[in-house]
Amino acid sequence: MLKTIIRKEVLETIFSYRFPLFAVICLLLIPLGMSVNQASYAKRVRDYSEQVRLANEAASAIKIQDVMAGTVAIKGFRPPAPLSVFTQGFESTLPRYYEFTQDGFKPGESASDDESILSVQGKVDFVFLVQMVISLIALLFASDMVSGEKESGTLRLMLANRLPRDTILAGKIGGGYLALWVPFLLAFLMGAVVLMLAAFPLFGGDMSTRVLIIFLGTSLFVLTYFTIGIAVSTSAAKSRTSLVAILIIWAAFQLIIPKLGDMVARLVYPVRTETEVSLQKSLLVRSIDMDQAKELGRQWDLIFGSMSQEARDKQDKQDSPENKKWGPIRDDIQLRARERKAQQLSAIDETYLQEKRRQLNLAVNLSLVSPSAAFARFIADVCGTGELERAKYIEAVRSHQKALDNELFSKVKRTLMIHEGGHMSLGFSAMPVDASKLPKFSITPASMAETFKANVRSLLSLLFWLIAPFAFAYAKFSKYDVR
Amino acid sequence: MAKQQPILKADDLSKRYEDGVLAVDHLNLNIYPGEVYCLLGANGAGKTTTINLFLNFIPPTTGTCYVNGIDVTKDPLEAKKYVSFVSENVMLYGNFTARQNLDFFAKLGGKTSLTKNDYYQVMRRVSLQEKAFEQRVKNFSKGMRQKLGISIAVIKDAPGILLDEPTSGLDPKAAEEFLEILAELKKEGKAILMSTHDIFRAKEIGDRVGIMKEGRLVMERTREELQYEDLVKIYIDYMKSEPLTMA
Q: What is the DSSP letter of A363?
A: H
Give A244-283 pLDDT, tens digit per residue. 988 999 999 888 888 888 899 999 999 988 788 888 988 9
Confidence at residue B43, expressed as pLDDT on a 0 to 100 scale: 84
B91·A481 Cβ contact <8 A: no
Do residue B80 and residue A11 have CB atoms under 8 angstroms apart? Answer: no
Q: Which of B81, B93, B110 sits opposite A154 (nearest CB)?
A: B93
Q: Which residues of B touch A4 (CB under 8 A)?
A: 104, 107-108
CB pairs A-B closer than 8 Å: 71
- For residue B116, the distance in angstroms to the closest alpha carbon of chain A comes to 16
Chain B residue numbers touching A8 (CB-CB < 8 A): 93, 104
Instruction: Report which of residues A121 and A285 the model is more confident about.
Output: A285
**What residue ranges do the domains of chain A occupy?**
1-483
Fold of B1-82+158-247: Rossmann fold (3.40.50)
Residues in a beta bridge with B70: B67
Contacts of residue A357, defined as CB under 8 A and 6 or more positions apart, other chains included, come to none
- Predicted local distance difference test score (pLDDT) of residue A89: 86
d(CA A428, CA A112): 41
Contact partners, residue A354, CB within 8 Å, separation at least 6:
none
CB contact under 8 A, A158 and B90: no
pLDDT of residue A258: 84
The residue of A11, A162, A172 whose CB has the most chain B CBs within 10 angstroms, and thus the best one to mutate to test that interface, is A162
CB A112, CB A43: distance < 8 Å: no
Strands B36-41 and B191-196: parallel
Asked if A158's CB is within 8 angstroms of B58's CB, the reply is no
Residue A313 is which amino acid? D
d(CA A251, CA B36): 54
Q: Which residues on chain A are in Cβ contact (under 8 Å) with B165?
A: none
Which pTM does this prediction carry? 0.83
- pLDDT tens sequence across A356-378: 889 988 988 888 899 999 999 99
Q: Measured between CA atoms, how close is B231 to chain A, in angstroms?
A: 30
DSSP one-letter code for A104? E
B104 to A152: CB separation less than 8 angstroms, yes or no:
no
As a dihedral over the C-alpha atoms of residue A16, residue A21, residue A27, residue A29, rounded to 10 degrees, the angle is: -150
CA of A160 vs chain B CAs: smallest distance (Å): 6
**Does the beta-carbon distance from A1 to B95 stay under 8 Å?**
no
What is the structure's pLDDT at A121? Answer: 52
Split at pLDDT 50, 70, 90, the class of A145 is: confident
Question: What is the H or E stretch that residue A396 is in?
Answer: helix A387-407
Residues A283-287 have a mean pLDDT of 91
pLDDT at B246: 45
- Please report, for residues A47, A93, A98, A131, A391, the alpha-carbon distance to residue A108 in angstroms, rounded to integers and kept in the order given: 15, 11, 5, 31, 17
| Spatial distance between the Cα atoms of B57 and A301, rounded to a whole number of angstroms | 102
- Cα A93 to chain center, whole Å? 9
The pLDDT value given to residue B245: 47
B87–A161 C-beta distance less than 8 A: no
Nearest-by-Cβ selection for B91 from A15, A153, A159? A153
- Please give the pLDDT value at position B242: 63
pLDDT per residue of chain B (247 residues) written in tens, 0 to 9: 446 789 999 999 899 988 888 888 898 999 999 999 999 888 888 889 999 999 999 999 999 999 999 999 999 999 999 999 988 877 889 889 999 999 999 999 888 888 999 999 989 888 888 899 999 998 888 888 888 988 898 899 899 999 988 887 777 877 888 888 888 889 989 999 999 888 888 888 889 999 888 888 888 888 887 777 777 777 777 777 765 444 4
Backbone angles phi, psi at B188, to 5 degrees: -75, -5
The pLDDT score that the predictor gives to residue A314 is 66
pLDDT tens digits, A76-90: 999 999 999 999 888
CA angle in degrees (0–180, nearest 5) for A48-A54-A55: 85
Please write the tens of the pLDDT for every residue from A20-62. Answer: 988 998 899 899 988 988 998 899 999 999 999 998 888 888 8
The pLDDT assigned to B221 comes to: 85
Backbone angles phi, psi at A100, to 5 degrees: -105, 125
pLDDT confidence of residue A227: 93
Average pLDDT rounded to a whole number, residues A158-175: 91
pLDDT digits (tens, 9 = 90+) for A429-462: 777 777 778 888 999 889 999 999 999 999 999 9
How far is residue A110's CA from residue A125's CA, in Å, rounded to a whole number? 19
**Does A483 sit within 8 Å of B52, measured CB to CB?**
yes
Three-state secondary structure call for residue B4: coil
Interface touch A162/B58, C-beta < 8 Å: no
pLDDT digits (tens, 9 = 90+) for A385-432: 998 998 999 899 989 988 988 888 887 777 888 888 888 888 777 777
The C-alpha of A5 sits at a distance from chain B's nearest C-alpha, in angstroms, of 8
In order, the DSSP letters of A130-196 are: IIIIIHHHHHHHHHTTTHHHHHHTHHHHHHTSS--HHHHHHHHHHHHHHHHHHHHHHHHHHHHHHHH
CB nearest to B92's CB, from A15, A154, A161? A154
pLDDT surpasses 50 at A219 = yes
A15 and B109 in contact by Cβ < 8 A? no
Best interface-test mutation with B: which of A157, A165, A167 has the largest number of B CBs within 10 A?
A157
Contacts of A439 (CB under 8 A, 6+ apart): A400, A403, A404, A407
B173 to chain A nearest CA, in Å? 24
Q: Are A72 and A102 in contact (CB under 8 A)?
A: yes
**Domain limits, CATH 3.40.50.300, in chain B:** 1-82+158-247
Other C-beta atoms lying within 10 Å of the C-beta of residue A170: 17
Of B57, B78, B110, Cβ closest to residue A156: B57
Q: What percent of chain A has pLDDT over 90?
A: 36
CA distance A91 to A73: 24
With a cut of 70, say whether residue A316 has pLDDT above it.
no
From first CA to last CA, the distance across chain A in angstroms is: 23
